[in-house]
């Protein structure tokens, strides 16, 4: 498994650069992961990132965009505004989780 | 792609390329020509997936596909066993009164169990994600429908040539 150094911390990543060990993640690391993809985290971002972390802990898989929207009551449009372009993948990356597997 | 480190202060972190220049400007056009419940979903799922990948996506509704955007029928699409050998049931069963209703309810339940929305709500999600909905001029004329019959977020009733023009350079799916 390749490793890379983010915020002075060595973390394991897959061949796309997503963290592979959720236990290596912390809020500080999340802040830096977001910065690396051009996002400055606000409270609105954190609410979603923490939801993803909690949901992953319970479900064992990363929530899809629809699940994030329905479970947190955040409109889809807002998700695209907060994590532009590829919201589901960017959110998962910042939360230190695998990209979602679900289709919808 | 991969960076086997040597973690040193000078090593640049290995980060996914979410906004790679080669994937910018990608466009997808999906022509939805069917009004059956089971044939409505492929276009919706692919459109939704493309939008989630940052792909500019246009859906063009034509012929029976109009049922997907007609306010009267959008939530009432049906699934029938008739003519569909993939159900692996005797075709005669499909003709029994009430069978289409039953098959439709079962399919809707299976879709809802996966937390996939019904057609009108799925289109809401697609539009909220930045997707564009277009209606076919000839189908509208044939069915005597106007913009007031269609979802408010349909951007226009346009000709086939208009659609071809506005999807220049797009990848195209016909469903």
Instruction: List pLDDT tens digits, range A32-58.
Output: 999 999 999 999 999 999 999 999 999
Please say if the pLDDT value at position B154 is more than 60: yes
List phi, psi (to 5°) of B60: -115, 120
* Spatial CA neighbour of B59 closest among B141, B140, B126: B126
Give chain A's mean pLDDT.
93
A89 vs B15, B18, B114: nearest CB:
B18
> Is the predicted pLDDT of residue B2 greater than 60, yes or no?
no
Residue the block writes with tokens 């994590």: A83
Q: Please report which confidence band the pLDDT of residue B1 belongs to, taking 50, 70 and 90 as the band edges.
A: low
Residues in chain B with CB shorter than 8 Å from the CB of A98 are none
Closest CA to A87 of B43, B54, B48, B26: B54
**ipTM value:** 0.88
Crossing angle of helices A65-72 and A87-94, in 10° steps, is: 80
Neighbours of A68 (CB within 10 A): 23
Of all residues in chain B, the one with the smallest CA distance to A88 is B52
CA-to-CA distance for A68 and B148, rounded, in angstroms? 33
pLDDT of residue B164 exceeding 70? yes
The residue range of the domain holding A70 is 3-94
Q: How many domains does chain A have?
A: 1
Distance between CA atoms of residues B133 and B149, nearest Å: 14
- Is B9's pLDDT higher than 70? no
Average pLDDT over residues B127-135: 97
| Cis bond upstream, residue B6 (ω within 30) | yes
Residue B4 has pLDDT above 60, yes or no: no
* pLDDT > 60? residue B10: no
Predicted local confidence at residue B56, as pLDDT: 95
Determine the average pLDDT of the residues in B146-156. Answer: 96
Residue A82 lies inside a defined structural domain of this protein: yes
* In a domain? residue A18: yes
* Pairing mode, strands B132-136 and B154-158: parallel
Report which of residues A1 and A58 the model is more confident about: A58
**Binary contact (A4, B13; C-beta < 8 A):** yes
Residue A100 lies in a domain: no
Residue B8 pLDDT level (bands cut at 50, 70, 90): very low
* Model pLDDT for residues B69-122, shown as the tens digit of each residue: 999 999 999 999 999 999 898 888 888 999 999 999 999 999 999 989 999 999
Measure the CA–CA gap between B21 and B31, rounded to whole angstroms: 27
pLDDT reading at B3 higher than 80:
no
| B 37-96 near A (Cβ less than 8 A) | 45, 48-49, 52-54
The two tokens of residue A9 are 């911390």
CA B15 to chain centre: 31
Closest in A5, A15, A89 to B2, CB measured? A15
Q: Where does B26-77+117-174 sit in CATH, by number? A: 3.40.1260.10
The residues of A whose Cβ lies within 8 A of any Cβ of B are: 2-6, 10, 13, 15-18, 36-38, 65-67, 69-70, 75-77, 80, 84-90, 93, 103-104
Which of B8, B19, B128 is nearest residue A75 as measured by Cβ atoms? B128
How far is C-alpha B103 from the geometric centre of its chain's CA atoms? 21
B129 with A67: Cβ contact below 8 A: no
CA B118 and chain centroid, separation: 12
Q: Three-state DSSP class for A88?
A: helix
Residues of A in contact with B40 (CB under 8 A): none
Residues of chain B found within 8 Å of residue A4, distances taken between Cβ atoms: 3, 5, 7, 11, 13-14
Note the pLDDT of residue B137. Answer: 94
Would the pLDDT of A88 be above 60?
yes
- Residue A99 forms part of a structural domain: no
State yes or no: pLDDT of B5 exceeds 70: no
| Best to test chain B binding among A12, A14, A37, A76 (most B CBs inside 10 Å) | A76
* Tens digits of residue pLDDT in B17-72: 887 777 788 999 999 999 999 999 999 999 999 999 999 999 999 999 999 999 99
Query: From the list A10, A13, A66, which residue is nearest B125 (CB)?
Result: A66
């Amino acid at each position: 498994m390749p490793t890379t150094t983010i915020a002075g911390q060595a973390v394991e990543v897959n061949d796309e650069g997503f963290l592979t060990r959720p236990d290596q993640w912390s809020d500080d690391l999340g802040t830096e992961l977001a910065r690396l993809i051009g996002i400055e985290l606000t409270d609105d971002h954190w609410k979603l990132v923490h939801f993803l972390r909690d949901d992953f802990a319970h479900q064992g898989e990363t929530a899809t965009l629809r699940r994030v929207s329905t479970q947190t009551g955040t409109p889809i449009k807002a998700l695209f505004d907060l994590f532009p372009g590829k919201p589901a993948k960017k959110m998962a990356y910042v939360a230190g989780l695998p990209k979602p597997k679900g289709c919808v | 792609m991969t960076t086997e480190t040597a973690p040193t202060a000078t090593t640049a972190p290995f980060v996914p390329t979410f906004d790679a220049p080669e994937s910018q400007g990608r466009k997808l056009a999906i022509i939805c020509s069917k009004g059956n419940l089971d044939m409505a979903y492929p276009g919706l799922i692919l459109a939704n997936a493309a939008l989630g990948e940052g792909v500019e996506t246009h859906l063009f509704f034509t012929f029976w596909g109009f049922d997907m955007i007609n306010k009267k029928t959008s939530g009432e699409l049906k699934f029938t066993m008739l003519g569909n050998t993939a159900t692996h049931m005797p075709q005669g069963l499909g003709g029994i009164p009430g069978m289409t209703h039953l098959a439709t309810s079962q399919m809707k339940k299976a879709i809802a169990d996966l937390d996939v929305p019904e057609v009108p709500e799925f289109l809401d999600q697609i539009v909220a994600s930045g997707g564009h909905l277009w209606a076919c001029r000839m189908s509208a004329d044939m069915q005597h429908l106007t913009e007031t019959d269609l979802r408010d977020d349909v951007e226009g009733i346009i000709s086939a040539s208009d659609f071809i023009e506005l999807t220049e350079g797009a990848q195209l799916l016909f469903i």
